[in-house]
Amino acid sequence: MRIRTTDHPEHHCGIFGISGSQTAARHVYQGLYALQHRGEESSGIVSSNGQKLFAHKDMGLVLHVFNDGILEALSGNMAIGHNRYSTTGSSELSNAQPIVIDCKLGQIALAHNGNLTNTDSLRHRLAEAGAIFQTSTDSEVMLHLIARSDKSLEQAVLDMMDQVEGAYSLVIMTTNKLIAVRDPHGFRPLALGRLGKAWVFSSETCAFDATEASFVRELEPGEIAVISNGALQSLHSKRKVQKHAFCAFEAVYFARPDSLVYGRKTAIIRMDMGRALAMEYPLTADIVIPIPDSGNYAALGFASARGIPYVMAFVRNHYTGRSFIAPTENRRQATVNMKLNLIGELVDGKRVVVVDDSIVRGRTGKSRCIKLRQAGAKEVHMLVSCPAHIYSCLYGIDFPDRQKLIAVTHSHDKIVKELGLDSLGYLSEAGMAKAIGGTGLCLACFNGKYPQYCSS
Ligand code: SF4
């Protein structure tokens, strides 16, 4: 049984692809290593030598799934890779990605970040038409839709995009083509880069830094970037959306602080969120404490705007991972304690502002507040660098059922009481959106306005 050791939603898959490198699989390995935070359950790489695809996938961290011998066997100058955290489909090797099929278009491998919202109806329709599925993932549904087309691969991908709903950033590879796809809403990130003469795609730009690739641009929502014979061709889906809907929570929490979002490092965006919190909640306190690592930069922004000392009073153990095997549910508290420890001497007698990126169920916030009080904190105020979560995410972020969200089940005053706080403040939607910038955000888990396609 996997026990959550965090109150934060889990990450959901990282993808990486490269075309035009003699050491393609090794670059994908480096890229996946940098994207480990987006998925820790399984990892996989598929390479192409121009005639044939070679695959290796296994459960576990990138470091444990691959070794020199395995990377050597993944030959060819093109490769794609995937780190998985399951959103649809159970956590088992058969659901690990990239998924590889052999069809009339030849061998195709696909790696997916996101979550489709019409999987059940598509899967039913495909099964009725005789499709046999090797996994329980929504990603395989997309591959089936591509494989059933009588057209070119590019047109087959465009036809698939006409049928699926929801969030998907993809890297797709045949023996001689690499294709990157971003859904028309642009829910999940996908960036284009160059490594010498090679083309690279990555969920986040931190993986470009790891591979010494240079960032070119983000893929546009609805774009299909095709790399063939060393050249890039860009196509676009004709599907129209009411507005672009990049996941705001990528900027708040998921993306690594050294990755770019709308051209700015996420760390800078989070500092702006902290400054916006300082405008909205001009609290007076002795120290500002981040909940590491996700609250670090927002706390820094708040502390500098308010002129209050920034104190790293919580120490995170980086070796527990985001989740690990624990024998029983009631050991959750022990695992939480192992992950975050308080240096009590730093908070004794102090008025404290704690900054975190979110409160989902409120499970860990309460125990942290108790520890702060036990260590002698005189006041404990909590600030959150996004609005309260009151709706589920349909697009691949593992928020629980609405009825498990503390902001749904408790009034504001009750949350303050339940967590043992003196006060609690959430960043406003406008404050968060201004800090992120960009051309259109998904805010559905905050306001219930789920992004829609245009009807015609
Ligand atoms: S609902 Fe929330 S978590 Fe899900 S894609 Fe939209 S902003 Fe992101």
What pLDDT, on a 0 to 100 scale, did the predictor assign at position 136? 85
What is the rounded distance in angstroms from the CA atom of residue 96 to the CA atom of residue 43? Answer: 7
Nearest CA to ligand 1 atom 4: 393
Of 13, 247, 393, 442, catalytic = 13
Ligand 1: nearest atom to the Cα of 399: 3
Beta bridge partners of 441: 246
Q: How far is CA 266 from the centre of its chain?
A: 13
Which of 251, 54, 82 shows the shortest CA–CA distance to 170? 82
Which of 55, 226, 76, 38 shows the shortest CA–CA distance to 134? 55
Beta bridge partners of 236: 223
Determine the residue of 117, 247, 392, 449 to mutate for testing ligand 1's pocket, defined as the one with the most ligand atoms within 8 A of the Cβ atom.
247
Determine the residue of 441, 443, 447, 452 to mutate for testing ligand 1's pocket, defined as the one with the most ligand atoms within 8 A of the Cβ atom.
443
- Name the pTM for this structure: 0.94
The token pair that represents 233 in the structure block: 């061709």
Place of tokens 């624990």: 326
Handedness of CA 369, 436, 10, 37 (dihedral sign): negative
> Is the Cβ atom of 249 under 6 angstroms away from ligand 1?
yes
| Burial class of residue 68, CB neighbours in 10 A (0-12, 13-18, 19+) | exposed
Ligand 1: nearest atom to the Cα of 389: 2
> Is the Cβ atom of 173 under 6 angstroms away from ligand 1?
no
> Is the Cβ atom of 206 under 6 angstroms away from ligand 1?
no
DSSP H or E stretch at residue 316: strand 314-316
Q: Are 220 and 182 in contact (CB under 8 A)?
A: yes
**Residue 394 has what DSSP assignment?**
S
φ and ψ at residue 426, rounded to 5 degrees: -105, 145
What pLDDT, on a 0 to 100 scale, did the predictor assign at position 332? 57
229 C-alpha vs ligand 1 centroid, how far in Å?
Answer: 37
Q: Are 441 and 248 in contact (CB under 8 A)?
A: yes
316 C-alpha vs ligand 1 centroid, how far in Å?
Answer: 26
Which of 364, 22, 19, 27 shows the shortest CA–CA distance to 171? 19
What pLDDT, on a 0 to 100 scale, did the predictor assign at position 317? 86
Determine the residue of 117, 249, 398, 399 to mutate for testing ligand 1's pocket, defined as the one with the most ligand atoms within 8 A of the Cβ atom.
249
Q: Could you give the residue range(s) of every CATH 3.40.50.2020 domain in the chain?
A: 260-447
Does 393 participate in catalysis according to the annotation?
no
> Is the Cβ atom of 247 under 6 angstroms away from ligand 1?
yes
What pLDDT, on a 0 to 100 scale, did the predictor assign at position 11? 54
> Is the Cβ atom of 187 under 6 angstroms away from ligand 1?
yes
Q: Are 426 and 382 in contact (CB under 8 A)?
A: no
Which of 22, 198, 177, 197 shows the shortest CA–CA distance to 110? 177
**Residue 34 has what DSSP assignment?**
H
Ligand 1: nearest atom to the Cα of 167: 5
Superfamily name with CATH number, domain 2-239: Aminohydrolase, N-terminal nucleophile (Ntn) domain (3.60.20.10)
> Is the Cβ atom of 246 under 6 angstroms away from ligand 1?
no
pLDDT by 10s per residue, the chain, length 456: 343 445 666 557 999 999 999 999 999 999 999 999 999 899 999 999 999 999 999 999 999 999 999 999 999 999 999 999 865 556 678 889 999 999 999 999 999 999 999 999 999 999 999 998 988 889 999 999 999 988 999 999 999 999 999 999 999 999 999 999 999 999 999 999 999 999 999 999 999 999 999 999 999 999 999 999 999 999 999 999 999 999 999 999 999 999 999 999 999 999 999 999 999 999 999 999 999 998 999 999 999 999 999 999 999 987 765 444 444 445 556 666 778 899 999 999 999 999 999 998 887 888 899 999 999 999 999 999 999 999 999 998 877 689 989 999 999 999 999 999 999 999 999 999 999 998 899 999 999 999 999 986
Ligand 1: nearest atom to the Cα of 247: 8
Q: Are 126 and 145 in contact (CB under 8 A)?
A: yes
Alpha carbon distances (Å) from 352 to 372, 375, 384: 9, 12, 14
- For the domain made up of 260-447, the CATH class stated in words is alpha beta
What pLDDT, on a 0 to 100 scale, did the predictor assign at position 335? 66
**What is the residue type of 415?**
I
> Is the Cβ atom of 442 under 6 angstroms away from ligand 1?
yes
What pLDDT, on a 0 to 100 scale, did the predictor assign at position 43? 97
What is the rounded distance in angstroms from the CA atom of residue 246 to the CA atom of residue 10? Answer: 18
**What is the residue type of 382?**
M
